[in-house]
Chains A and B, each alone.
Chain A
Amino acid sequence: MVLEGKKRVWEDYQKEIADDHYFYVRSCIRQTFFPGSETTFLRIMRDDLGKDVFEDARHTTCTGIGYHTDIVPLDTTMTVIARHFALMTEAGYTNIIPSCVTSFGIYTEVLDTWKHFPEIEAKIREYLWKATKREFTIPENLVHTSDIIYKFRNQIKEKSKVSLINKKTGLPLKVVEHIGCHYAKMFPTSGVGGAEFPSVLTGMIESWGGSVIDYPERRHCCGFGFRQYLVMANRGYSVSNSKKKFESMQPYQPDFIVANCPGCSMFLDRWQYTIAELEGITYDKNGMGIPVLTYEEMAGLVMGYSPWELGLQMHQVSVEPLLDKLGIEYKKEEKYLGAHGQNLGEPQKPQFLIV
């Protein structure tokens, strides 16, 4: 592997990422799957970096899941997104940052469509006006929130308390970075590093001391694929995609996986449980699976946040082996305490996957 070759590709795919004043739009599903991630993003941005991030409670789904399962027509999707742009405009912002990779992909697709077909934009403006009496301006800057963390990776490093280094061996942790398909595969120029060798997560990992594993099925979809998962009969297909990736990364003995997409983080974590229960297989030496983090969780650990405040107890694959490697202290008895100290109760233990 020639790193210089990758760097040449990365140089071709750099994009403008606004420096401050962001209109933040949350994901539909991340707050359920990984409830600490979005909170952590806001904490880092506002408390640690001093950035202005605004969100509006009236923001809704982008319709992404419905759109990609052919339930919601494109005109409806575009009108909903136009409403989000209107909320941004009304709040006085011009930089929009979706938390969800699918939302980012749809926003990018809609803006590109309007750029090439102004008559469609005019039609959607009319629909929005008729439905809500709202108007909007096109965002000056649209980036994914992982782009924002990438942009400030060095500032985060300066304030960091933990490096992605194995405390016992002193060696960089080996990290699998997984990029959501909707981040750059549809519009390669919209992703930092492009579609084939994205550097958005690589940049974070390397800045914070880790090393990146480039394994054969790196580019492969996690298996979510919307209708693969949402249609129950297709879920075996979804699992088989994740399994293909796990088998491909296993020889490299990764310390953890990090992803920038809600679905990818979810399925790479939960399907390890499913595969273990179905086939009695795990992809690590100890039968505990490979921990999966969101990039905000990874950033939060680097910043020294409490793993339980980050919501890492919500993961299917236990994160404790990773915390031990990082030298992060934690209290086991606090793992299942709620925000106000109440005991939430321990989940049922799987049969094969060790937790």
Chain B
Amino acid sequence: MTKTPQHIIIIGGGPAGLEAASCLGEVGYKVTVLEKEEQTGGKLRLWYKLFPGFRPSGEVREYLANGHKMNPPEIVTKAEVIRVDPEIDHHQVVLADGQTLKADAVLIATGFQVFNAEKKEEYGYKIYDNVITSVDLEAQFISGNPLKTVAGVAPRRVAFIHCVGSRDKKVGNVHCSRVCCITGVKQAIEMKEHLPQAEIFNFYMDMRMFGQNFEELYIEAQQKWGITFIRGRVSEIAENIDGSLQLKAEDTLSGRPMRMNFDLVVLLVGMVPAAGTEALGKSAGLAFTSGNFLASNDTHFFQNETHTPGIFVTGTCREPLSVAETLTDARAATVRIISWLREKELKSNN
């Protein structure tokens, strides 16, 4: 290390950004985290419990906050980055308020935003009172209030619809958001815990239970909690005269069309890149995936590098990831940044 530590700017104070900041701080770098919101924590703040073990999301937020004790990074909130101007020796990070910060390396960790379910017009989100999203449901869990329909009664029949805004050419998203399947299983179980008498149905295309203990939780949902999983994409939702919802789907295993009534429908919304990521990526000369996430330099060897030297990417701004995967990805990005900065330092000393 040089006497004046090299400066790394991390754009985004969610799990990826904070974990990377912690790791880079530990080895002595000067780290600045720029977070556009008033608080750090990203989407973790919107989640009640995490799959697959139902860990309260607050525990992860606490872990991320404690990671900075050795060499805490400078965390600047309400700092929206609008541009990164790559230069040969360093990069200029330009903020919305006109400030320009100089960095030896930049790590982009701008995360994701949830798909706007209003685009799936046939599901009537924000039109039909009892259609909500998985994020709305987490907010309901966080509030601690009893689960009720708009009419103020406990729902007796609930449907979860998978892949809303994911794997759907009609809305321009071909990518799989990966975490919605297991979120659907987790939330269905939580719903059943709150409403033991309720019938719960999950409508899916296929269940992608890729992570440790995911498949086990999926089996538990069926065997222990009696949750019904129907393979079939929902074609439309309409509102009945009593405010309940009529749902049409095809059960593709039995090959039959279905028409069912529900008191509450939960749309498992997918991930899309956070607002501003595209403009930021373009300013830095970065490439994009077909889903408009920030593209890596190489899908096997250099997942956190970009085509612009000194600019790195991590977390869900580059592809949909779970929280656990995001933290792992942030650590991996850290290793690549350290390696790149050391190489740069060696070159400058020679």
* Chain A residues with a Cβ under 8 A of chain B: 1-2, 4-6, 8-9, 194-197, 214-219, 251-252
Given A1, A8, A218, which contacts B129 in the complex, CB threshold below 8 Å? A1
B236: chain A residues at CB < 8 Å are 196, 219
A6: chain B residues at CB < 8 Å are 127
* Chain B residues with a Cβ under 8 A of chain A: 118, 121-122, 124-129, 236, 238-241, 246
Closest to A213 in B: B241
Report the bound CA distance from A215 to B241 in whole Å: 7
Q: Known: A215-B241, A216-B238, A216-B240. Contact between A194 and B129, CB under 8 A?
A: no
A4: chain B residues at CB < 8 Å are 126
Q: Known: A214-B239, A219-B236, A219-B238. Contact between A197 and B121, CB under 8 A?
A: yes
Instruction: Tell me if B238 and A218 are in contact (CB < 8 A).
Output: yes
Closest to A219 in B: B236
A9: chain B residues at CB < 8 Å are 118, 121, 127
A255 to chain B, nearest CB (A): 16
Q: Known: A1-B129, A2-B129, A6-B127. Contact between A196 and B239, CB under 8 A?
A: no
B298 to chain A, nearest CB (A): 36
Closest to A194 in B: B121
Closest to B120 in A: A196
Given B122, B126, B240, which contacts A5 in the complex, CB threshold below 8 Å? B126
Closest to A2 in B: B127
Q: Known: A218-B238, A251-B241. Contact between A1 and B246, CB under 8 A?
A: no
Given A195, A197, A216, A219, which contacts B127 in the complex, CB threshold below 8 Å? A197
11 contacts between A and B (CB under 8 A): A1-B239, A2-B128, A2-B129, A4-B126, A6-B127, A9-B127, A194-B121, A196-B122, A197-B121, A214-B238, A216-B246
What 10 new A-B contacts, CB under 8 Å, besides A5-B124, A196-B121? A2-B126, A5-B126, A9-B121, A195-B121, A197-B121, A216-B239, A216-B240, A216-B246, A219-B236, A252-B241
Which 4 A-B pairs have CB atoms at the shortest separation, nearest pair first?
A: A5-B127, A196-B121, A5-B126, A216-B238
Closest to A214 in B: B239
Report the bound CA distance from A252 to B241 in whole Å: 7
Report the bound CA distance from A6 to B239 in whole Å: 13
A8 to chain B, nearest CB (A): 7
- Which of A4, A6, A196 gathers the greatest number of chain B CB atoms within 10 Å? A196
